[in-house]
């Protein structure tokens, strides 16, 4: 495997990415933010041991057509849209200096409207290339940044001057990959939160909703710890190297039958689909009744009941068949599979994106260099149906949370 140092991975929605760099970049998505702080002075001391484990911040995300998940971030007092991307390490947003359509279709950051904006000495310009041919140019600066109700100061971020993309519009990216892979030569937001003691643990947990499976499912991200309801059921996997969120997959199953597939896997919140090595992806689809390979894509029946599971450390995680099917081809009646061949023929690892992540709760644990997955809060039910944890203020619960199912 090898993710080159200083290379971003971006897999955007369309399957036929052309890699500008030898390595992947990650995808953009967006979020919605809400603050949940624990005011310890008001808490019954008997609850403190429980709450100590809870995240310090939480933010709800928007599911954009199961293609990406986006949220809000406040930079210099300005409310901007971002996608959280585990395949890259830096934060950047559209600005008023950028007039390409990818910038102008959303809110743009304006340094003139901020009192906390600070320039960085030249040369502070950057260019980033993404897997679908998208490119961003801009300059680095520092700002006060708030997400999930947690604020950090003097966070290095990118102010875009151009943004070309056919797919992502109106938002930026907050990278949550390791410091070792920064293109900005600066700590990312999570690292800064830990350094500035805004969170106790450098840990990001999230769930991406699967409304086709459960209409009440809610997308969210937490900062600082794993929510209580997942603390007992989560299983961790060490990263292969401490510069990217790549772990080792021990097998893939179809309907419980082992395919004997082993590979390293990038867990990429910025990728919509899953991608694998060609011979392994072919083997997998041959086990799905009615599948068809055409135009370099795998297609499967839209009503397939086949359950693909990925296995980490001996623990299988099922992909719901409703999440495995994506766009329908009206002329063949087949649906595009959520698992496709890596567009980069040189790639030596799989990429698991939203098609997989929408089936689990996931934790990126920077302090212990590991990724955790949990399938059921408190050992029952499905992930995402109970986004709450001890620090939720019931008066703030959104309507969509009201019908939680366990
Ligand atoms: C794959 O690797 C070969 C040899 O290193 C290189 O010439 C080629 O450009 C690479 N292809 C891609 C898509 O990165
Ligand atoms: C930011 O904007 C989003 C989307 O309009 C909104 O839901 C959210 O409440 C705003 N956040 C703040 C802190 O104003
Ligand atoms: C920064 O700008 C200078 C001058 O235009 C250019 O030579 C250099 O390649 C740029 N650096 C990056 C990383 O884009
Ligand atoms: C799971 O357990 C946590 C902590 O004990 C509790 O706050 C939460 O309500 C439980 N959730 C469900 C769905 O039972
Ligand atoms: C990550 O790896 C680098 C060398 O590749 C090492 O210097 C650093 O201490 C490692 N960090 C952790 C947290 O293990
Ligand atoms: C796949 O679809 C093509 C075109 O629709 C068809 O010609 C071919 O027979 C199909 N292959 C299989 C294995 O079903
Ligand atoms: C649908 O399938 C046909 C036959 O394989 C193909 O020619 C066509 O490009 C597909 N359409 C889309 C939108 O993928
Ligand atoms: C397929 O048909 C449906 C219903 O008519 C339509 O909504 C959808 O956009 C079509 N898909 C494509 C890829 O053309």
Q: What is the pTM of this model?
A: 0.82
Quick check: is 376 in a domain? no
pLDDT value of residue 378: 54
Answer whether 23 contacts ligand 1 (Cβ < 6 A).
no
Closest CA to 63 of 92, 111, 30: 30
Q: Does any ligand 3 atom lie closer than 6 A to the CB of residue 126?
A: yes
pLDDT at 133 (0 to 100): 78
Q: Are residue 140 and residue 247 in the same domain, yes or no?
A: no
- Counting ligand 7 atoms within 8 A of each CB, the residue from 331, 333, 334, 336 with the most, and so the one to mutate, is 331
Residue after which a domain boundary falls, among 207, 224, 241 = 224
135 CA to middle of ligand 3, Å? 14
What's the structural domain count of the chain? 2
Q: Which atom of ligand 7 is nearest to the CA of 329?
A: 1
State whether 243 and 150 are in the same domain: no
SS3 280: helix
Ligand 6 centre distance from Cα of residue 332 (Å): 9
Residue 206 Cα to chain centre, angstroms:
8
- The answer to whether the CB of 130 falls within 8 A of the CB of 106 is no
My answer on whether 91 and 208 are in the same domain is yes
Residue-level pLDDT at 166? 80
Distance of CA 282 from the midpoint of ligand 6 (Å)? 15
Structural domain contains residue 404:
no
- With a 6 Å cutoff on the Cβ, whether 323 touches ligand 4 is no
Catalytic choice (54, 85, 132, 354): 85
191 in the same domain as 65: yes
User: Do 191 and 283 have their domain in common?
Assistant: no
- 247 Cα: distance to centroid of ligand 6 (angstroms): 35
Protein residue with least CA distance to atom 2, ligand 3: 125
CB of residue 292 inside a 6 A radius of ligand 7: no
Q: Which ligand is nearest to the CA of 295?
A: 7
205 and 60, same structural domain?
A: yes
Smallest-distance ligand from the CA of 328: 8
216 CA distance to ligand 4 middle (Å):
17
Please tell me whether residues 188 and 253 are part of one structural domain. Answer: no
263 and 321 share a domain? Answer: yes
| Nearest atom of ligand 2 to the alpha carbon of 79 | 1
Residue 295 lies in a domain: yes
**The one catalytic residue among 268, 354, 365, 401:** 268
Ligand (nearest to CA of 345): 1
In a domain, 309, yes or no: yes
Is residue 268 flagged as an active site residue? yes
Q: Does some domain include residue 315?
A: yes
Residue 11 forms part of a structural domain? no
Q: Is 123's C-beta closer than 6 angstroms to any atom of ligand 3? A: yes
| Annotation marks residue 367 as catalytic | no
**Which of 209, 224, 239 is the last residue in one of the domains?**
224
- CA-based Rg of the chain, rounded to a whole angstrom? 20
Q: Which of 145, 166, 182, 8 is nearest to 87 (CA)?
A: 8
186 with 323, same domain: the answer is no
Centre of ligand 5 to C-alpha 242, Å, is 6
Cβ atoms of residues 88 and 8 within 8 Å: yes
Cis peptide before 97 (omega within 30 of 0): no
Residue nearest to atom 12 of ligand 7 (CA): 329
Task: Classify residue 386: in a domain, yes or no.
Answer: no
Q: Any residues with CB less than 8 A from the CB of 176 and at least 6 apart, and which?
A: 84, 85, 86, 89, 188, 189, 190, 204, 269, 364
- Residue 38: predicted pLDDT: 31
Contacts of 352 (CB under 8 A, 6+ apart): 265, 266, 267, 268, 271, 274, 310
Report how far residue 376's alpha carbon sits from residue 395's, in angstroms, rounded to the nearest whole number.
Answer: 25
Listed residues 194, 224, 254: the one ending a domain: 224
Q: For a ligand 2 pocket test, name from 71, 79, 108, 151 the mutation site with the most ligand atoms within 8 angstroms of its C-beta.
A: 79
Beta strands in 188-314 (DSSP E): 203-207, 219-223, 235-238, 246-249, 251-254, 257-258, 263-267, 274-276, 292-294, 297-301, 308-312
Secondary-structure breakdown of the chain: helix, strand, coil percentages, each rounded to the nearest 5: 15, 35, 50
Position in ligand 4 atom list of the atom nearest CA 228: 4
Nearest to 343 by CA among 10, 68, 3, 5: 10
> What is the Å distance from ligand 6's center to 292 Cα?
6
**Shared domain check, 156 and 266:** no
What pLDDT was estimated at residue 382?
52
183 and 254 share one domain: no
Whether residue 335 lies inside any domain: the answer is: yes
Measured distance CA(206)–CA(279) in Å, rounded = 31
Tell me the β-bridge partners of 292. Answer: 299
CATH of the domain at 299: 2.40.70.10
141 & 278 share domain: no
pLDDT digit of tens for each residue in the chain (406 aa)? 222 223 344 433 333 232 222 222 333 322 223 323 333 344 444 444 444 567 788 888 888 888 888 899 999 999 999 999 999 999 999 999 999 999 999 999 999 999 999 999 999 999 998 776 789 999 999 999 999 999 999 999 999 999 998 888 889 999 999 998 899 999 999 999 999 999 999 999 999 988 888 888 889 999 999 998 898 889 999 999 999 999 999 999 999 999 999 999 999 999 899 999 999 999 999 999 999 999 899 999 999 999 999 999 999 999 999 999 999 999 999 999 999 999 887 889 999 999 999 999 999 999 999 999 998 765 444 554 433 332 232 222 222 222 222 2
Residue 106: domain span? 53-224
Closest CA to ligand 8's atom 6:
330
């Amino acid at each position: 495997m090898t993710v080159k140092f200083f290379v971003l991975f971006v897999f955007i929605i369309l399957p036929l990415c052309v890699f500008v760099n030898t390595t992947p970049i990650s995808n953009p998505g967006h979020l919605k933010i809400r603050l949940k702080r624990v005011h310890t002075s008001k808490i019954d001391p008997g609850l403190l041991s429980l709450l100590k484990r809870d995240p310090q911040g939480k933010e709800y995300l928007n599911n954009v057509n199961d293609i990406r998940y986006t949220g809000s971030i406040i930079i210099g007092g300005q409310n901007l849209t971002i996608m959280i991307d585990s395949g890259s390490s830096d934060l950047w947003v559209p600005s008023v200096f950028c007039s390409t359509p990818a910038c102008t279709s959303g809110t743009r950051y304006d340094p003139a409207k901020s009192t906390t904006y600070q320039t960085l000495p030249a040369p502070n310009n950057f260019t980033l290339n993404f897997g679908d041919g998208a490119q961003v140019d801009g300059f680095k600066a520092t700002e006060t940044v708030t997400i999930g109700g947690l604020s950090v100061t003097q966070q290095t971020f990118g102010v875009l001057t151009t943004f070309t993309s056919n797919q992502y519009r109106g938002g930026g990216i907050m990278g949550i990959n390791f410091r070792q892979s920064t293109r900005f030569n600066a700590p990312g937001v999570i690292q800064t939160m830990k350094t500035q003691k805004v969170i106790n643990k450098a840990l990001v947990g999230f769930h991406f909703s699967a409304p086709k499976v459960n209409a009440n499912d809610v997308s969210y991200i937490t900062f600082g710890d794993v929510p209580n309801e997942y603390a007992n059921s989560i299983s961790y996997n060490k990263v292969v190297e401490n510069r990217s969120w790549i772990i080792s997959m021990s097998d893939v199953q179809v309907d419980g039958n082992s395919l004997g597939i082993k590979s390293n896997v990038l867990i990429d919140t910025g990728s919509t689909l899953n991608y694998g090595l060609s011979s392994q992806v072919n083997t997998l689809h041959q086990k799905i009744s009615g599948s068809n390979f055409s135009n370099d894509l795998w297609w499967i029946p839209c009503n397939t009941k086949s359950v693909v599971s990925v296995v980490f450390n001996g623990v299988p995680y099922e992909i719901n068949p409703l999440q495995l099917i994506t766009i329908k081809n009206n002329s063949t009646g087949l649906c595009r599979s959520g698992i496709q061949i890596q567009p980069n023929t040189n790639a030596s690892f799989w990429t698991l994106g939203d098609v997989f992540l929408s089936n689990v709760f996931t934790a990126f644990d920077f302090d212990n260099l590991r990724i955790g997955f949990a399938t059921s809060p408190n050992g029952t039910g499905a992930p995402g149906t109970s986004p709450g944890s001890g620090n939720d203020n019931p008066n703030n619960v959104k309507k969509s949370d009201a019908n939680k199912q366990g």
